[in-house]
Structure 1
Amino acid sequence: MRWKTKWTMTVLAGALLLSPVSSASAAVDPKNLDTLTKIYSLLVDDHFTHPDQEKLLKAAVSGMLNELNDPFTNYFTPQEYQQFVDAIQQAYAGIGVLLEHSDDGQALVVKEVYAGTPAEQGGLQVGDRIVQVGDTAAAPSTLDQLADLLRGLPNTTVTFRIVRGTEAPKSVTLTREAIELPMVAQKDLGNGTGYIRIYSFGDRTTQEYAKALSDLQEKGAKRLVLDLRGNGGGLVKSALEIADSLLTKGIILQMHEDGNIVSFDADAAGDDQLPVTVLIDRHSASASEILAGALQKNGRAKLVGETSYGKGTMQEPVELPNGGYIKVSIDQWMLADGTTPDHVGLTPDVRMTRPESFLNAALGVLEPDHEQSVVFDSKDNTIPAPLTLDGQVYLPLRYTVEMLGAPVTWVAEQDQVTFTLQGHQATVRLADGVVTVDGTQLSGHPLRVIDGTSYLSVDALKWMKVKVDSTENTVKIQTH
């Protein structure tokens, strides 16, 4: 394959992103270059403050980069660049957790605790909210800084405060360790379905993905859920290799070369028989969008979740004489249909809003007859609670339907929502509470709107052939 030969040859050691073949560039005006050098020299030699040369250099570089209005063209000191590389390669000294920003911007939320790490040994749990690291409190503007503070040198300690559920905040002190986290995680979901999550696209990703898929297929996996949620990208080469392994034809990626558009095509050696569904979210970016977009635009897989981040540019890191690096955006790439996700993201085929419902929806795409169930436990305050009104049990509409694997669509101009569950098409008019299933209007009061939240009666769900079991403290709903 053309891209496999050419791009592998052009990769530099330690490069994070592949560069395309050279394209035409504007010639640098020597007078401008001399002027820049002259100003720098004058300020260093003659200005009465005798400014620090490193600070002056960073200020000059910052000014030029700001003019580009491109958040992905960045200057790194040698230390910053190494941290960037380590983040892509999932290797660093830290505590061993996967974090994301909380919706309210007031905490880092633990999404995963890796086995054998200080975090696991210290008792951290999924869902813990980190609200302070050292003396720095969590705020929307400090969350990235908090994540950096959790990292550091091996065998050094870090103290932070966590909030778990309704418990009082508590301080935790852990000793950082050198950690090389997996690029890929796998799980056998049973019933012939395998699950692979890709955390980052680095040097090990393709090999770890291939091994995970092989292991799952040996266990009987005939379908695959590929999870790219929270994956901010990395090596383009890894994304291309995995896309190619799932395609036997079609365009994976298009780029610009000397004013022309060049296509990088899949070869016939891939596997186009394994059913695949891809999970994406607002944090799926760059190389994740290349892989997801290649599969979607070639009709190979449906995307489930929410609109992706929208980064359709490619960067090349270039080492500088002072040991630092500049990461430069060198092209805006396109997918098979000529579109780019830049600034707009990829649109999911099945749009969901509740993150915990994404996997159920993906299973519904892969296995239309897959049995789904949701349990409402009155003791669990992390999920919306059912209501009992006039002797009738009502369940939160959107949460319930999405957890059963069905997207809910709001039609704004008609102030109504629609969804299809168990093959039955339902329309819910929010203004007057009328619920229609397969053209038949349900009697009674199938819908209640309480404090802006819509609740659907269990009788309405039974009408759609959904099994409902209700006890004093628990409501269980199940498709069958």
Structure 2
Amino acid sequence: MMNKRRLGWIGVGLCACALSSFLAVSLYMRPYRNLIKLTEAVEVLRENCIYVEEDWEPADLLMSQLLASIGDRYTYYLSLHDAEDFSALYETGGVHVGLGMEVVATRGGLRVGEVEVGSPAMMAGLQRGDIIQALDGKQVQNLDQIQGFAPDQLVELRVNREGRQVVLRARAQEVSDQKEYVIHALPDGLVYLRIRSFMQQGMEQEILTHLRAKEGEIKGLLIDVRANPGGRLDAAVAIAQAFLPEGSVIVYGEEKGRERETITGGSETPLAMPVVILQDEESASAAEVLSGALRYNGRATIVGQTSYGKGTMQRVHRLSDGSSIRYTCGRYYLPDGHSIDKTGIPPDVQAPRDASAPGWALSEERDLQQKKAQETLRSLCRLD
């Protein structure tokens, strides 16, 4: 009797083990069931649907839709071709096939900044302030969509020009890469530094080398980050550190599943000249890190408009076939501990832009924001 009871308990134990193993396998296999179903559907369509060719490969489309379903505009799929072009954005110098213009991503499309003299963009009639909304009939949303043209490729651009729709045609040619910054002297010992983005490798060292070499001559510095979409966080941090004493808090970072990290730094001999940062509603990400680090450490006055408010960090993960996924991995916080995601950094001195176009797309005579920033800097330097 005892043996039967013992065997019964053993049987119950074995059943429980089998059930738990089955549940564990089921949970493990759950993500793969949909992949099996998807593969089955693709094969059925490839073999039987009259509209599907034998070489039909829907993987790129499916990956794009998968990442789009997350609902984050900064999380998206890059095909092999797009991934190569995206990587090229972070390289320095050289020659590439393109249209020869500066563009930044905005909510309405790609806004045109400086147009190179004699470039395909200039020959086509593109102007500063134009917003490129479509390329060859396809809506334009990301910078990578205007990369990787073939030599002599003819492209059609649908442009919004101050509310009017304009269609232009340009032929891609080899053009020299522009530096991501411009620096020149202003009257009375002031210096103007425009940073278009923080994408190019080595740009921060070039900027700081110039400022260090001229430090004794510079009475005040105007840093223009209008329409700067961000880029490399380390570049913005390096520039901020040059103006701050050692041990200063630059930014806090917090990635999914990890503790908040404090990024500190500074210089034994920080740059001492007064600083004004000029920003607008399109200054984002790394540009906001620079503005926030200097403003909340008491080293800069911000002029312009409330910034874009992108307080998240992204990573690019390369897949086995060379394509990539770009995804949001965490948030960052300014030195005072608050997040600017979707709220932005308010300016110390308000300076609305000209109603017809953003300031950086206007001539200096019409750039009211830059005039206000220069007035503020002159006041800080006691030049008036």
Matched, 1:208 2:206: yes
Task: Report the Cα offset of residue 293 of structure 1.
Answer: 1.3
Cα deviation, residue 90, structure 1:
7.3
1:97 maps to a residue whose letter is M
Q: Aligned in 2, Cα 1:190/1:302: closer, same or farther, shift over 3 Å?
A: same
Is the partner of 1:68 in helix, strand or coil? Answer: coil
| Deviations 1:161-191, CA, capped at 9 Å, x for gaps | 99999xxx89775552143110111110120
Mapped to 2, the partners of 1:255 and 1:369 lie a distance apart of: 32
Say what the alpha-carbon RMSD is for the aligned residues. 3.9
Other structure's SS at 1:317 match: strand
CA drift at 1:295:
1.1
Counterparts of 1:332 and 1:102, CA distance in 2: 21
Residue 181 of structure 2 corresponds to 184
Using the alignment, how far apart are the partners of 2:214 and 2:333 within structure 1? 32
Superposition pairs of residues 440-459 of structure 1, within 5 angstroms:
none
- What secondary structure is seen at the aligned counterpart in 1 of 2:292? helix
Query: Quick one: distance in 1 between partners of 2:281 and 2:313?
Result: 19
Distance in 2, Cα, partners of 1:116 & 1:152: 18
Q: CA separation in 1, counterparts of 2:226 and 2:260?
A: 30
**Which whole-Å CA distance do the structure 2 matches of 1:362 and 1:177 have between them?**
36
Corresponding residue to 1:357 among 346, 365, 368: 368
Contact 2:102–2:113 (CA<8 Å) still a contact in 1? yes
The structure whose residues are more often helix, as a share, is: 2
The structure-2 alpha-carbon separation of the partners of 1:128 and 1:329, relative to structure 1 and needing over 3 Å to count, comes to closer
1:39-69 per-residue CA deviation (whole Å, 9 max, x = no partner) reads: 2332233454479897543454344424422
**Do structure 1's residue 97 and structure 2's residue 101 form an aligned pair?**
yes
Assess if the C-alpha contact under 8 Å between 2:275 and 2:299 holds in 1: yes
The alignment status of 1:79 with 2:88, answered yes or no, reads no
Amino acid at match of 1:69: G
Q: Which amino acid aligns with 1:236?
A: L
Contact 1:132 / 1:161 at 8 angstroms: preserved in 2?
yes
Pick from 223, 239, 246: which aligns with 1:242? 239
Q: Name the residue aligned to 1:344.
A: 343
Alignment-mate amino acid for residue 375 of structure 2: G
Greater share of strand: 1
TM superposition shift of 1:31: 2.2
Do the aligned partners of 1:302 and 1:349 also contact (CA within 8 Å) in 2? Answer: yes
Quick check: 2:92–2:201 contact (8 Å CA) kept in 1? no
Contact 1:110 1:129 in 2 (8 A): yes
Question: Residue 341 of structure 1 aligns to which amino acid in structure 2?
Answer: I
Partner of 1:251: 249
Partner of 1:35: 33
Partner of 2:377: 366
The 1:269–1:30 alpha-carbon spacing in structure 2 relative to 1, beyond 3 Å, is farther
Q: Identity rate of aligned residues, in percent? A: 27
Shifted more, 176-185 versus 329-338: the winner is 176-185
**C-alpha deviation, 1:153, in angstroms:** 2.2
**Aligned ranges for residues 15-26 of structure 1 at < 5 Å?**
none
Please tell me the residue identity of whatever aligns with 1:359: Q
- How much has 1:204 moved relative to structure 2? 2.6
Once residues 65 and 134 of structure 1 are traced to their aligned partners in structure 2, the CA distance between those partners, rounded to angstroms, is 22
Structure 1 residues 270 and 77: CA distance shift in structure 2, 3 A: farther
TM-score, scaled to structure 1: 0.60
Classify the secondary structure of the residue corresponding to 2:379.
coil
Equivalent residue letter for 2:329: I
Measure how far apart 1:364 and its partner are. 2.1
What is the letter of the counterpart of residue 353 of structure 1? P
Provide the rounded CA distance (Å) in 2 between the counterparts of 1:153 and 1:262.
43
1:22-421 counterparts in 2 under 5 A? Answer: 30-46=28-44, 48-49=48-49, 55-89=57-91, 92-99=96-103, 110-114=112-116, 117-119=119-121, 122=123, 127=128, 129=130, 136=137, 142=139, 144=141, 148=145, 152-158=149-155, 174-201=171-198, 202-214=200-212, 216-217=214-215, 220-248=217-245, 249-256=247-254, 259-269=258-268, 271-354=270-353, 355=359, 356-368=367-379
Which letter does structure 2 place at the counterpart of 1:252?
I
Question: Is the contact made by 2:306 and 2:346 (CA closer than 8 Å) also made in structure 1?
Answer: yes
Does the 8 Å CA contact 1:244/1:270 hold for their aligned counterparts? no
Q: Judging changes above 3 Å, is the alpha-carbon distance between structure 1 residues 54 and 307 closer, same or farther for their aligned structure 2 residues?
A: farther
Residue 299 of structure 2 aligns to which amino acid in structure 1? R
Distance 2:69 2:136 in 1: 34
Could you say which residue in structure 1 is the equivalent of 2:21?
none
Relative to structure 2, which stretch is displaced further, 193-202 or 57-66?
A: 57-66
Decide whether the 8 Å contact of 1:280 with 1:304 is kept in 2. yes
Unaligned runs of 5+ in 2: 1-26, 354-358, 360-366
- The answer as to whether partners of 1:118 and 1:177 remain within 8 angstroms in 2 is no
Q: TM-score, normalised on structure 2?
A: 0.73
Query: Could you tell me whether the CA contact under 8 Å between 1:206 and 1:241 is conserved in 2?
Result: yes
Q: Deviations over 1:14-39 (max 9, x none)?
A: xxxxxxxxxxxxxxx52233223322
Kindly provide the CA deviation profile for residues 207-240 of structure 1, in whole angstroms up to 9, marking residues without a partner as x.
Answer: 231244246547x222100111111111111111
Q: Check 1:321–1:110 CA distance in 2 against 1; reply closer, same or farther (3 A cut).
A: closer
Query: Any conservation in 2 of the 1:161–1:170 contact (CA below 8 Å)?
Result: yes
Structure 1 residue 147: deviation in Å? 9.6
Alignment partners' CA distance in 1, 2:37 and 2:159: 50
Deviation at 1:357, TM superposition (A): 1.6
User: Whose RCO is larger (CA < 8 A, sep 6+)?
Assistant: 2
Deviation at 1:306, TM superposition (A): 1.1
